A = this chain, B = another copy of it.
Amino acid sequence: MAATKPLKIVLFLGTVRENRLGLRVAKFMQNYLVKTGHDVDFMDAQELDLPLLKKPLHFYRDQSEAPPLLVDLGQRVKTADGYVMVSGEYNHSIPPALSNLLDYFPGSSFSYKPSAIVCYSPGQYGGMRAAIQLRALLGEIGCLSVSNIFGIPQANKSLDEEGNPQNDHMESGAKRLITQLDWHAHAMRNHRESVGIPK
């Protein structure tokens, strides 16, 4: 498998809060993905600064009338081989900055590809309740979330501000998750290239 073209992974960070912990989680995952040979495209809700969704990309009949940033993002989402979602948890639910970002794009851009959920919290449950809601959302948009969910409790202690791991669980957790993502991403990419996708 040596000469395999790298997997293109879009890494979503869905929080715009002051002092957000998610950035250190995203940095850690970005580092891990680069280190393990992925082609990483980092989409940070804060940097993108998209407003609450008034009109998704696929609702513009004439795509030339859509905001250029959105068209560009849509193209990058569409050409990815898989997705990593870095999600906090607000009130046991998906952070609105994350669902808002994902809702901009049509399900067809995500379909027949896998996704991986990394959830975190400052507390002990690691954002697992939001992760389960996110699994429902990801299923609906077509990028099936792999079995493992990488939960990071006490994210402020597990990672420093640059995303450097502060304990041994971080590397092994990322490895377990990304191994599953890679397997499914290769399986699906091979099959897309071999037979296309339905319809």
Contacts of A103 in B (CB 8 A): 90-91, 96
Contacts of A164 in B (CB 8 A): none
Contacts of A153 in B (CB 8 A): 124
Q: For the complex formed by this chain, how many copies does it contain in all?
A: 4
Q: B141 near A144 (CB under 8 angstroms)?
A: no
Looking at A31-39, A75-83, A126-134, the stretch in contact with chain B turns out to be A126-134
- What mask results when residues 92 to 114 of chain A are scored 1 for a CB within 8 Å of chain B, else 0? 11111101101100010001101
Please report the total number of A residues contacting B with Cβ < 8 Å: 61
Looking at A21-29, A61-69, A187-195, the stretch in contact with chain B turns out to be A187-195
Contacts of A118 in B (CB 8 A): none
Contacts of A184 in B (CB 8 A): 112, 144, 188
Looking at A5-13, A52-60, A155-163, the stretch in contact with chain B turns out to be A52-60
11 contacts between A and B (CB under 8 A): A92-B139, A95-B99, A96-B96, A112-B184, A114-B144, A135-B135, A136-B136, A139-B147, A183-B197, A186-B191, A187-B187
Which residues of A pack against B, CB within 8 Å?
A: 1, 16-18, 45, 51-55, 59, 90-97, 99-100, 102-103, 107, 111-112, 114, 124-126, 128-129, 132-133, 135-137, 139-142, 144-147, 151, 153, 179-180, 183-184, 186-188, 190-191, 194-195, 197-199
